[in-house]
Amino acid sequence: MESSNGKPPQGEEEGKAAGSIGGYESLHRLLESNLPPELFKEASRLLLGLNCAHPLEAVSLPGATTDLAKAHNFDVQAFRFNADKEHMRQPRIVRVGLIQNSIAVPTTCHFADQKKSIMEKVKPIIDAAGASGVNILCLQEAWTMPFAFCTREKRWCEFAEPVDGESTQFLQELAQKYNMVIVSPILERDINHGETIWNTVVVIGNNGNIIGIHRKNHIPRVGDFNESTYYMEGNTGHPVFETAYGKIAVNICYGRHHPLNWLAFGLNGAEIVFNPSATVGELSEPMWPIEARNAAIANSYFVGSINRVGTEVFPNPFTSGDGKPQHADFGHFYGSSHFSAPDASCTPSLSRYRDGLMISDMDLNLCRQIKDKWAFRMTARYDMYANLLSEYLKPDFKPQVIADPLINKRA
DSSP H or E stretch at residue 75: strand 75-81
Structure letter (DSSP) for residue 325:
P
The number of beta carbons lying within 10 Å of the beta carbon of residue 87 is: 4
- pLDDT given for residue 2 in this prediction: 37
The number of beta carbons lying within 10 Å of the beta carbon of residue 80 is: 17
CA distance 320 to 219: 16
DSSP H or E stretch at residue 347: none
- 253 catalytic, yes or no? yes
Structure letter (DSSP) for residue 223:
T
CA distance 175 to 204: 7
Looking at CATH, the fold of the domain delimited by 55-382 is given as: Nitrilase/N-carbamoyl-D-aminoacid amidohydrolase (3.60.110)
The number of beta carbons lying within 10 Å of the beta carbon of residue 111 is: 14
Q: Walk along the chain (411 residues) in steps of 10 and give the mean pLDDT of each run.
A: 40 60 95 96 96 96 98 98 98 98 98 98 98 98 97 96 98 98 98 97 98 97 88 97 98 97 98 97 92 98 98 93 87 96 98 98 98 97 97 98 87 58
Q: Are 220 and 181 spatial neighbours (Cβ–Cβ below 8 Å)?
A: no
- 141 catalytic, yes or no? yes
Q: Which entry of 253, 271, 346, 367 is annotated as an active-site residue?
A: 253
- pLDDT given for residue 16 in this prediction: 61
The number of beta carbons lying within 10 Å of the beta carbon of residue 389 is: 10
Amino acid of residue 49: G
Q: Which entry of 7, 115, 216, 247 is annotated as an active-site residue?
A: 216
CA distance 207 to 328: 42
Domain boundaries, the chain: 55-382
CA distance 191 to 195: 4
- pLDDT given for residue 122 in this prediction: 98
* Residue 122 Cα to chain centre, angstroms: 16
Q: Which entry of 25, 141, 227, 291 is annotated as an active-site residue?
A: 141
CA distance 285 to 291: 11
Residue 193 vs residues 12, 198, 230, 386: alpha-carbon distances, Å: 54, 11, 15, 33
CA distance 75 to 100: 9
Phi, psi of 12 (to 5 degrees): -95, 150
Beta strands in 308-406 (DSSP E): 309-318, 327-334, 338-340, 356-363
Entry field: residues in the chain: 411
- pLDDT given for residue 337 in this prediction: 98
The number of beta carbons lying within 10 Å of the beta carbon of residue 162 is: 15
**If we measure between CA atoms, which residue out of 232, 289, 223, 356 comes closest to residue 47?**
289
- 312 catalytic, yes or no? no
Beta strands in 128-219 (DSSP E): 136-138, 181-190, 196-204, 210-215
- pLDDT given for residue 4 in this prediction: 38
**If we measure between CA atoms, which residue out of 232, 239, 150, 147 comes closest to residue 198?**
232
Q: Is 46 exposed, middle or buried (0-12, 13-18, 19+ CB in 10 A)?
A: exposed
* Residue 38 Cα to chain centre, angstroms: 31
**Three-state SS for 280?**
strand
Q: Are 76 and 101 spatial neighbours (Cβ–Cβ below 8 Å)?
A: no
- pLDDT given for residue 10 in this prediction: 36
CA distance 227 to 81: 36
Q: Are 20 and 75 spatial neighbours (Cβ–Cβ below 8 Å)?
A: no
CA distance 29 to 347: 12
- Beta strand 327-334 with 309-318: parallel, antiparallel or unpaired? antiparallel
